[in-house]
Amino acid sequence: MIEIVTNSAVETVELGKQIGASLRGGEVFALVGNLGTGKTHLIKGISLGLEAHDPDQVNSPTFVMVNEYFGREGLIHIYHIDAYRIESLAEFEALGFEEYCRPDSVVLVEWADKVAGAMEGFGCIELRLEHVAETQRKIIIQNAPEYLTAAIA
């Protein structure tokens, strides 16, 4: 387990960039945290680290539920899923979650605690975000592969 405190949204994005740059494909992230804890900022950073074509397009897919971005010259598919409005595990599975989990993709699930049962068995890297102060966030990383922990240590 790794705990990191960021002092601003910019620092949260920078941490995400470090994480994204280390990824190889095949990773599934479970992001957990209350509203305003920086989940989308962290995902924007991860997408930047993966060299997403247009990182300005990275936003929370609350209403469409899944956004797809492309990184590393189209070699990595980035699936950004927002489970906030999901009402059942069946609804989450119907989004195609299992099909997104491939060696050439990185899957990022916001509000993963709502759909944890459907994510079991995928070796998820958990990113838990918590408020510390108005601009400070504590980010707890669990189940990360060694190459990711080495990149942010």
Angle at Cα 40 formed by Cα 34 and Cα 46, nearest 5°?
Answer: 130
Domains of the chain: 2-152 (3.40.50.300)
CA–CA gap between residue 31 and residue 124 (Å, rounded): 10
How many residues can be counted in the chain? Answer: 153
Out of 17-21, 63-67, 132-136, 146-150, pick the least confident. Answer: 63-67
What percentage of the chain reaches a pLDDT higher than 70? 92
Over residues 5-61, the pLDDT tens digits come to 999 999 999 999 999 999 999 999 999 999 999 999 999 999 999 998 665 666 665
Helix axes of 9-22 and 39-49: crossing angle, nearest 10 degrees: 40
Mean per-residue pLDDT over the chain, rounded: 92
- Biggest CA pair distance of the chain: 38
pTM of structure: 0.92
* pLDDT for 75 beyond 90: yes
Which pLDDT belongs to residue 77? 95
Q: Could you give the CA distance from residue 112 to residue 126 in angstroms, rounded to a whole number?
A: 9
